[in-house]
């Protein structure tokens, strides 16, 4: 049984209409299903605004889904309330994108970690301080950082504090929401390697959210590609990068720079991403797809395995042949 099982998850944001206009909804996440196994890192990629961060927040119950289910170890997280929800929340943690905004500037590092430890574990303050020091050592910071404030750290160090805070509850699953996008390139590799080391040492599963396919390929065993609130392709990382089935994935990969700057032609998609407030009929990608036909304009392609393997693709005409 998978650690995390997501089925037909939908997250809609209501938009106030005028006096005589019906209420409308932004379909940020529109029927997403996938699984994550224990100790696995699954990557989630897509353009800005496709619903990646919304999906991540819904998984840890920072947002309430419109419908669908999120099960952790077989327990429906959406059905929990009060004490039961707090008990399960320790297994679901999140690393936020902005290391500058995710930490309270008035709290020392120890106070930030102690909030989590005191909530979830019956320990004395001395024991909690010792545990906080161990967490900082685990993420590459010394115990001397315990009594310092966030403004005394660099961006990469703040993100390490954020990672330590997520680990404090000993979670089974962590959503890493673009954890390196706000950091210098020189720091990104260190944070990515740190997360991979933590996965191997603790067995914690990750959903690694990013828009950079090169970064996601490095850390993930499997990649989900999202477009306009839907998953359009799912495949093992190496297979997806070497041979994408979906035309949108192919366009994303063409934008990844190579060392020699040669070997592939850039695919420029026409137009802009449609508004999730008024998505197109049929396949959500058809207004920009070079292979779109009349069927694509009428029907929504299901996420299926077109070649009978574990690879999934939501396209009527996937490029399954090399």
Q: Is the pLDDT of residue 84 over 70?
A: yes
Q: Is the pLDDT of residue 135 over 90?
A: yes
Q: What is the pTM of this model?
A: 0.92
**Pairwise CA distance, residues 245 & 225, whole Å:** 11
What is the overall mean pLDDT for the chain?
91
Question: Which of the four pLDDT bands, split at 50, 70 and 90, describes residue 266?
Answer: confident
Instruction: Please report the sign of the dihedral spanned by the C-alpha atoms of residue 225, residue 92, residue 41, residue 185.
Output: positive
Q: Which two tokens stand for residue 89?
A: 């929340």
Asked which of 59-63, 125-129, 183-187 is least confident by mean pLDDT, the reply is 183-187
So what's the pLDDT on residue 23? 77
- Long-range pairs of 85-92 with CB within 8 A, sequence gap ≥ 24: 85/61, 86/119, 89/60, 89/61, 89/169, 90/120, 90/169, 90/170, 90/171, 91/169, 91/171, 91/172, 91/173, 92/59, 92/60, 92/61, 92/171, 92/172, 92/173, 92/175
Asked which of 79-88, 127-136, 277-286 is least confident by mean pLDDT, the reply is 79-88
Question: Which of the four pLDDT bands, split at 50, 70 and 90, describes residue 322?
Answer: low
Q: Is the pLDDT of residue 116 over 60?
A: yes
Q: Which two tokens stand for residue 117?
A: 């430890």
Tell me what percent of the residues of the chain surpass a pLDDT of 90. Answer: 70
SS3 46: coil
Question: Which of the four pLDDT bands, split at 50, 70 and 90, describes residue 314?
Answer: very high
- Checking DSSP bridges between strand 205-209 and strand 222-227, what pairing results, if any? unpaired
């Amino acid at each position: 049984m998978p650690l995390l099982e997501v089925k037909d998850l939908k997250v809609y944001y209501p938009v106030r209409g005028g006096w005589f206009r019906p209420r409308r909804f932004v379909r940020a996440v529109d029927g997403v299903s996938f699984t994550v196994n224990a100790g696995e890192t699954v990557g989630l990629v897509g353009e800005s605004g496709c619903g990646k961060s919304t999906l991540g927040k819904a998984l840890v119950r920072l947002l309430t889904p419109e419908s669908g289910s999120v099960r952790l170890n077989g327990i429906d997280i959406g059905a929990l309330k009060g004490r039961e929800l707090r008990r399960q929340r320790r297994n679901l943690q999140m690393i936020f994108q902005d290391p500058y905004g995710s930490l309270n500037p008035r709290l020392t590092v120890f106070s930030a970690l102690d909030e989590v430890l005191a909530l979830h574990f019956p320990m004395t303050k001395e024991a909690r301080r010792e545990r906080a020091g161990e967490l900082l050592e685990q993420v590459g910071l010394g115990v001397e950082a315990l009594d310092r404030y966030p403004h005394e750290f660099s961006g990469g160090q703040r993100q390490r504090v954020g990672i330590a805070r997520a680990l404090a509850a000993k979670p089974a699953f962590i959503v890493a929401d673009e954890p390196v996008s706000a950091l210098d390139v020189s720091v990104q590799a260190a944070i990515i390697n740190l997360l991979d080391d933590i996965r191997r040492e603790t067995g914690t599963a990750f959903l690694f959210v990013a828009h950079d396919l090169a970064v996601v390929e490095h850390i993930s065993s499997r990649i989900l590609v999202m477009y306009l609130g839907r998953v359009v392709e799912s495949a093992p990382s190496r297979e997806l990068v070497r041979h994408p089935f979906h035309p949108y994935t192919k366009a994303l990969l063409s934008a990844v720079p190579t060392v020699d700057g040669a070997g592939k032609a850039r695919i420029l998609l026409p137009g802009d991403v449609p508004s999730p407030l008024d998505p197109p009929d049929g396949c959500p990608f058809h207004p920009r797809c070079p292979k779109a036909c009349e069927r694509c304009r009428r029907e929504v392609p299901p996420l299926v395995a077109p070649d009978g393997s574990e690879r999934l693709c939501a396209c009527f005409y996937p490029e399954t042949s090399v």
